[in-house]
Structure 1
Amino acid sequence: MTTKRSEFFAGIKNVIPILMGAAPFGLIYGVSARSASIPVIAGQSMSFIVFAGSAQFITTQLIGASVPAGIIILTAFIVNLRHALYSASLTPYLKQLNTRWRLILAYLLTDEAYAVAIIHYQKPGDMSRKHWYFLGAGLALWCTWQISTAVGIVLGTQVPANWSLDFALPLTFIALVVPSLKDRAGTAVAATAGIIAIFAAGMPFKLGLVVATVVGISIGIFLDSRNNKRPRSHKEEEMSQISSHAEPPMATQGKHTEKGEE
């Protein structure tokens, strides 16, 4: 049986490989903020308040180019639209939590936190404490981002451009996604989204990422709907009949656990 503590530290442990990729990005953001003449406090505050790498990078670039504030806000909103898709995907697992928990996890929701959390939620087991796993992963990412941002701001332009640190995070995402592709539908979704993301990489405001995400989700919904409509084989009918006559379990996992406060 899992405990809050074990779930929390499991989240930290499993997100460590991603931290190795996130730290260089935080460092690069800090350097970019100083290069754009953003004050130290403002640069660090953006990491604390916004806590969204892509939005922070594009915002920094636009500030450096003296773009009007309204356009900057709209652009950051568009870049972060994918978080609405992440939230919709996690809703079935988090709807039993109280408002305080949902607000905390919403703040900690990033690409990386979602990647590890959704894989953990989809695994069988007691669901009543899995939000502690999400919390552990999210806090580890948050701390890493704040520290690496601060280091980047302090170092400023002293970090050589030829270090090319920006390759690390995409590699960690590939390492996470590939093992989770266990059926044709998932593979098709990942392949389609990846191909579209590559060809749409030149779109302004990183809209290619949003387009790839929406198309990938649409294909996943279509394939899932088609599989549900497919007539079952004779063997599947037999297994269904056997299951219907089987004795139900004594209790459902997590049914009588406390909700919201755990």
Structure 2
Amino acid sequence: MLTKKQLFTRGMLDISPHMLSVIPFGIICGAIGVELGFHPYLVYAMSFIIFGGASQIVFLQLLSGGASSLVAVASVGIINSRHLLYGAVLSEYLEKLSFIKKLLISYVVVDQGFAESNKFFKKNRNEEFLYYHLIGTGCTMWVCWQIATLSGIVLGSFVPEELGLKFAIPLTFIAIVVQDLKKLDHVIVMITCGLSSLLFFDAPFKSYIIISPVIALFVAAILLRLKK
């Protein structure tokens, strides 16, 4: 049986390779926030509260583009709704913990940490304190993300405005979805989302940001049924 410290350390080591992509992404998030005209304290506070790269960029972009606070918050909620699935998968390993402990651990659960911990959990079901591996991955991600975001904020303050960093927003999301271009059903869903956003672009309160992914999810559900 591994001790709590050993499991925590293992989690830190398992998540470490992901830092090669997470740290540059964090720097971009911090720099973009400053570039879009937000106060550095606000950008860093957002990184502390939301703690999610894609969500933070979407939140900043929507607010800077004139979207209402309601639409911005709802969009972040939709993007982060995948964590409901993470929680459902991890629940069997955390069922003995108190509600407060589960709540605290949920704050540091991120995509990469979930993937590594879930893989470790399946191979080591008999370990008593498995959740320390999840805490190890989450805390490592959190510390590196905060440092990277802070570095980006400092960097964004020195980058000349004429050079601009706004181009990094579409490039970042292209990098996220480019791997899904290999699958036809994923391409259909992305095209549907893009066409829907154009069709409903003039919807009140910039709500096309919410309408288009909902339509795309509906199409994805139909495609899944057809595949089965």
TM-score above 0.5: yes
Counterpart for residue 71 of structure 1:
71
Report if the CA contact (8 A) 1:20-1:168 is conserved.
no
Q: Quote the Cα distance in structure 2 between the aligned partners of 1:201 and 1:16.
A: 34
Q: What is the CA–CA distance in structure 1 between the aligned matches of 2:120 and 2:12, rounded to whole Å?
A: 12
Residue in 2 that maps onto 1:94: 94
SS of 2:5's equivalent in the other structure is: helix
Amino acid at match of 1:112: Q
Residue aligning to 2:13: 13
- 1:125, distance to aligned residue in structure 2 (A): 3.8
State percent identity of aligned pairs.
26
Alpha carbons of structure 1 residues 201 and 15: separation in structure 2 relative to 1, 3 Å = farther
Contact 2:3 2:129 in 1 (8 A): yes
CA contact (8 A) 1:79 1:207 kept: no
8 Å CA contact 2:113–2:138 kept in 1: the answer is yes
AA at the equivalent of 2:13 = K
In 2, are the aligned partners of 1:2 and 1:126 still within 8 Å (CA)? Answer: no
Q: Which residue of 1 aligns with 2:126?
A: 126
| Structure 2 portions without partners, runs of 5+ | 198-208
Question: What secondary structure sits across from 1:38 in the alignment?
Answer: coil
Q: Greater CA radius of gyration, 1 or 2?
A: 1
- Aligned pair partner of 1:211 in 211, 217, 222: 217
Q: Is the 8 A contact 1:117 1:134 kept in 2?
A: yes
RMSD: 3.4
Size of the aligned set, in residue pairs, is 201
Instruction: For 1:193 and 1:113, locate their aligned partners in 2 and report how far apart those are by CA, in whole Å.
Output: 27
Unaligned runs of at least 5 residues, structure 1: 175-190, 224-262
Question: Residues 21 and 168 of structure 1 are in contact (CA less than 8 Å); yes or no, is this contact kept in structure 2?
Answer: no
Separation (CA, whole Å) in 1 of partners of 2:34 and 2:10: 35
- Does the residue aligned with 1:37 lie in a helix, a strand or coil? coil
User: TM-score, normalised to structure 2's length?
Assistant: 0.74
Matched, 1:53 2:59: no
**Structure 1 segment 153-168 matched on structure 2, within 5 A:** 153-156=153-156, 158=159, 166=172
Deviations 1:163-200 (A, max 9, x none): 998489859xx8xxxxxxxxxxxxxxxx6885566556
SS in 2 for 1:2: coil
Residue 91 to residue 194, structure 1, CA distance change in 2 (3 Å): farther
The residue type paired with residue 17 of structure 2 is P
Q: TM-score scaled to structure 1, two decimals?
A: 0.65
Q: What is the aligned partner in structure 1 of residue 83 from structure 2?
A: 83
